[in-house]
Structures are given as C-alpha cells and as structure tokens.
Amino acid sequence: MRIAMIGTGYVGLVSGVCFSDFGHDVICVDKAEAKIEMLQAGKVPIYEPGLEALMAKNVAAGRLSFTTDLAAAVDGADAVFIAVGTPTRRGDGHADLTYVMAAAQEIAQAMTGYTVVVTKSTVPLGTNRQVKQTILKANPQAEFDVASNPEFLREGAAIDDFMHPDRVVVGVQNERAAEVMADIYRPLYLRDFPILTTDLESAEMIKYAANAFLATKITFINEIAGLCERVGADVKEVSRGIGLDGRIGNKFLHAGPGYGGSCFPKDTAALARIGQDHAYPMQITETVMRVNDEVKSRMVEKLRDALDGSFNGKTVAVLGVTFKPNTDDMRDAPSLTIVPALIGGGAKVRVVDPQGRPEGEDLLPGVKWMDDPYHAVRNADLVVLLTEWNEFRALDLKQMARKMETPRMVDLRNIYTEKSAKRAGFEMYLGVGR
C-alpha cells in the first residue's frame, strides 16, 4: 500500500514510521521545513524510545521518506492519513479543526484516483462527515471515502502500542473503505489483534470515551488519596485492594499530582463541550476536570506545609517536570502548576529532568536546570519527586539527606516510603494518600 501521512507530530510520525515497518510505502508530510530537514537528516524532533532507530531502518529500506510537498505525496496514494494537531480552541473548549480542514482541502486538490482519507487526529463527533463535505466542495469529481482511525498510543511506549495494540478502531461508511483499511492493518489481522470496524460516529466517540474514562479513573484514586490522608489509610494498599477486582483492574490507579499530557486535558474538555452543544452535559467528565485542577493545587499546599507554611527564601529541588516518564512532553504537566507556585512564593527552584529541558526552559522561567539530582539537592530545604523517571527510582537517599540543608522529601509519586526515607536520614517524608 502507498500511504501519505499528513503531519509529523507525535501521532503522525510514530504512525508513519510503524506503517512503513509493516512494509507499506509511506511519505510523511509537514509544512515545517526545518522539521522535514531534521527528519531527512535522520533526527527525530520528539523523544520516544526506539523511534529513531526504527525510522532509520525503514528509511534505509526505501519504505519511508519525508517531504513538504503534500500534492506529490497524495498523488497515487491508496490512503491519506490526517494527523495534524487539534488543540483546544481558546475560549470555548472545542477542539480546533482548522488544521484538519485545511489538510482536507489540500488533499482534495491533490488526489488523482480512488483514495481513502483517514482521520488519525482526535476529532469531535461529526468531523469525518465534515471532512467529506470539505473535500467534495473543493473537488466535486474526487473519488474517495473517509474513515476514522483514532490512535491509542501511550507516550513513552508508542511503538509497542502500535505494534501490539489492545485494539484497532476503524470507522467507515462502506465495504470498499473497510477493505483498504484491512489491507493497511493486515499484519495485525494476521497476528489476531482485535480490529473493530464500526461507523464513523462510533469510532469518533470511542476515542473520547476511552480517554475520559481513564482520566476519571486517575482522578478517582487521587480523590480517594486525599481522603486517605485525613483518615489514616494508605492509598497504595487501597489501590492494590480494589485493583484486584477484575471489574476494576489495577491500571491507572496510582495516586499522584493529577493528570496532564497531550490527550486527557484537551479530550475531556472537548467531550464536555460536545455534551453542552447537544444539551446533554457530561457531568462526570466536567467534575473530573475540576477535581484534577484541585488535585494540582492540593499538591502546592502539601509542599507549602513541608516548608513550614512559606516558600519564601527556600531552596527546592524538583526531580522530573514532564507529565510522565519516557517523554519530553510538558503539555499540561502538573509541574506547570507546581513550579510557578514555588517561584511565585519566593523559592529558588532547581530542576532535574532527563528530557524536559528543551521544552521546559520556555515554560518554566526562573528555574535552574541541573543534570545531577545529588548536585541539585545540595543545601536545599526540600526535594520533590514529581515525575517517576527510572533515574529517580533508586536514589541514594542517605547521600541526598547528607547534602541537604533540611532533609525533607515530598514524594508525589509514592516511589519511596516514610520508613526508608527516615532510615536514610530525612527528617520529613510526605507521600500522596499515605
């Protein structure tokens, strides 16, 4: 199959590389010349474990290339995937479809034969029908079908998720489009991974419902954690106890400082807005969004309590600022609430993050970036574990405690225990929900 992938952001690049590894001929398109030049030079503009090596392998095999020329990429393609950004529109919570519709118009002018136009971006219900109308308006003679193919990639584990998915969701309007999509995903069919073929609206809704449910699960355990602190229960034991119930499961039950990232914040906001537009409020989702913001604020107060009620004049070492480990993504990360609150309160903040600095330098002005956690805690009043990078899971706590002015730790990921911290010489240890 010949595939054009419009957009080389996180979803587009990972999907394009993985499709080429399936054996398809893939051309990835982006308007950003600097990004295409970087990709053509073999460099990946995002951090995703294993992606650079897989990209190099398929470029060398002649199955993968990069261009700014959309028309050339679309000409003769069996399928064209739209994988452009759909950020939250400022002011109303809607997903901004400007880039999706602009791509649809360009695709319409470039198609030369039957093509399936596949929306990979996360889009509100009805968008694929809008894409169809946009193409027909721009090129009434176009021979094409539309399909919805939402992504379910976890940052930091995206390649494995693509190659070994829980499921692949495909929304189509007819059998011809379904056959093209089946050919594209044939390697997964042959390995018996579940492929769900459904209508357009159901495919669109599956994506939003899945992310809203996971965000709800995270927020539920974070709210339970707050109550655990009041009543003396341990949220890690509570999570283990309820997670053993097969109806609940143990994933996404790790208490922490709230969810962030590229998907959950914008997708819950979009789903809430869709509900409002259809006079059917998504009350649970709206509450999840509000509670998640409150969780982040509660973490700030936890840090303030650890510093005797004031940040002013204190030195704080923050370990990890990306929204999760194994990614450089800072979008809606809890650190963007917590670190500015520290600085705004008069603290001197030192940050260590294996991949967060390139984005974080602009987003977190006023912090001092350091490479070594042991240097970062020297003469510090508090160390905060904010992102659970592997580098922070086996720290020499005794060495850290010795270097600090006042050895205090706030562990927002519950990596350690109060017992181990106190044994290492910390005078204070605070976790979440414990």
Q: Which residues are catalytic?
A: 263
> Residue 119: how many CB atoms within 10 A of its CB?
27
Contact 296, 432 (CB under 8 A): no
* Tokens coding 94: 């809607």
Phi/psi of residue 338, nearest 5 degrees: -75, -50
> How far is the CA of 108 from the CAs of 65, 72, 139, 171, in angstroms?
22, 13, 6, 20
* Of the candidates 411, 409, 412, the residue with the CA atom closest to the CA atom of residue 377: 409
* Tokens coding 191: 């390995």
**Calpha distance 251→232 (Å, rounded):** 24
**Calpha distance 29→13 (Å, rounded):** 9
Classify residue 106 as exposed, middle or buried by CB count within 10 Å of its CB (0-12, 13-18, 19+): middle
Cβ neighbours of residue 292 closer than 8 Å, sequence gap 6 or more: 215, 218, 219, 222, 258, 259
Alpha helices in 319-410 (DSSP H): 335-344, 357-363, 373-376, 397-403
**Calpha distance 12→16 (Å, rounded):** 6
> Residue 306: how many CB atoms within 10 A of its CB?
21
Angle at 426 between CA 421 and CA 431, to 5 degrees: 55
* Tokens coding 266: 């914008």
Contact 319, 409 (CB under 8 A): no
Interhelix angle 200-231/283-306, rounded to 10 degrees, is 40
